[in-house]
Amino acid sequence: MDVLADRVLALGPKPEPGGPYRHFKLTRDGDGVAWLLFDRDGASANTLSAEVIEELDKVLAALETERPAGLVIRSAKKSGFIAGADVNEFRGASDSGPAETAIGRAHAVIDRLEAMRVPSVAVIHGFCLGGGLEVALACQSRIAIDGARFGFPEVMLGLHPGLGGPARFTQLINPVQAMTLMLTGRTIDARRAKALGLVDAVTQERHVLNAAKDAIFGRLARARPGLVNNILNAGPVRGFLASRMRREADKAAPHEHYPAPYALIDLWEKHGGDKPAMLRAEKISFGKLVVTPTAQNLIRVFFLREQMKKLAGGGNRIGHVHVIGAGAMGGDIAAWCANQGMRVTLADMKAEPIAGAMKRAAELFGKIIRKPTDVRDALDRLIPDMEGEGVRNADLIIEAVPEKLELKQKVYALLEPKMKSGAILATNTSSIPLQDLRTGVQKPERLLGLHFFNPVSRLQLVEVVSHDSNDPQLLKEALAFVGAIDRLPLPVKSSPGFLVNRALTPYMLEAMVLLDEKIDKRVIDAAAENFGMPMGPIELADQVGLDICLDVGDMLRSKFGDALPPTPAWLREKVANGELGRKTGKGFYVWRDGKPDKTPGPASTPPSPEMTDRLILPMSNVCVACLREGIVDNADLVDGAMIFGTGYAPFRGGPLNYARTRGADNVVSALRALAEKFGGRFTPDAGWENFK
φ, ψ of residue 465 to 5 degrees: the values are -100, 130
On whether both 350 and 418 belong to a single domain, the answer is yes
On whether both 466 and 552 belong to a single domain, the answer is no
φ, ψ of residue 594 to 5 degrees: the values are 80, 10
Q: Specify the amino acid at residue 243.
A: S
Q: Residue 423: enclosing H or E segment and its boundaries?
A: none
Residue 189: the pLDDT is: 94
Report whether 150 contacts 132 (CB < 8 A): no
- Partner residues linked to 172 by β-bridges: none
On whether both 141 and 240 belong to a single domain, the answer is yes
The mean predicted confidence, pLDDT, of the chain is 92
- Partner residues linked to 34 by β-bridges: 28, 71
Distance CA 220, CA 536 (A): 54
> Is residue 301 included in any domain, yes or no?
no
Domain that holds residue 99: 2-291
On whether both 336 and 458 belong to a single domain, the answer is yes
Q: Which residues of the chain have pLDDT under 70?
A: 1-18, 603
DSSP-derived secondary structure letter, 173: S
Q: What is the DSSP string of 626-680?
A: HHHHTSSS-HHHHHHHHHHHH---GGGT-HHHHHHHH-HHHHHHHHHHHHHHH-G
Q: What is the pLDDT of residues 466-499, one digit of tens each?
A: 999 999 999 999 999 999 999 999 999 999 999 9
Q: Cis peptide leading into 565, omega within 30 of 0?
A: no
Of 470, 494, 518, the residue that ends a domain is 494
> Is residue 453 included in any domain, yes or no?
yes
On whether both 64 and 167 belong to a single domain, the answer is yes
On whether both 462 and 562 belong to a single domain, the answer is no
Distance CA 644, CA 647 (A): 6
Query: Which runs of consecutive H residues, i.e. helices, occur in 42-94?
Result: 50-66
On whether both 211 and 326 belong to a single domain, the answer is no
How many independent structural domains does the chain possess? 3
Please tell me the total number of residues recorded for the chain in this structure.
692
Q: What is the CATH number of the domain that holds 85?
A: 3.90.226.10
Q: What is the DSSP string of 285-322?
A: HHHHHHTSHHHHHHHHHHHHHHHHHHHT-S-----EEE
> Is residue 307 included in any domain, yes or no?
no
| Residues catalogued as catalytic | 134, 154
> Is residue 305 included in any domain, yes or no?
no
Q: What is the CATH number of the domain that holds 529?
A: 1.10.1040.50
Q: What is the CATH number of the domain that holds 465?
A: 3.40.50.720
Report whether 635 contacts 142 (CB < 8 A): no
> Is residue 590 included in any domain, yes or no?
yes
Residue 18: the pLDDT is: 52
Residue 13: the pLDDT is: 59
> Is residue 276 included in any domain, yes or no?
yes
> Is residue 202 included in any domain, yes or no?
yes
> Is residue 303 included in any domain, yes or no?
no
On whether both 163 and 250 belong to a single domain, the answer is yes
On whether both 244 and 320 belong to a single domain, the answer is no
Of 494, 527, 555, the residue that ends a domain is 494
On whether both 95 and 204 belong to a single domain, the answer is yes
Of 240, 258, 291, the residue that ends a domain is 291
On whether both 174 and 41 belong to a single domain, the answer is yes
CA nearest to 460, candidates 267, 306, 669, 653? 306
CA nearest to 536, candidates 520, 548, 547? 520
On whether both 671 and 554 belong to a single domain, the answer is yes
Distance CA 339, CA 484 (A): 11
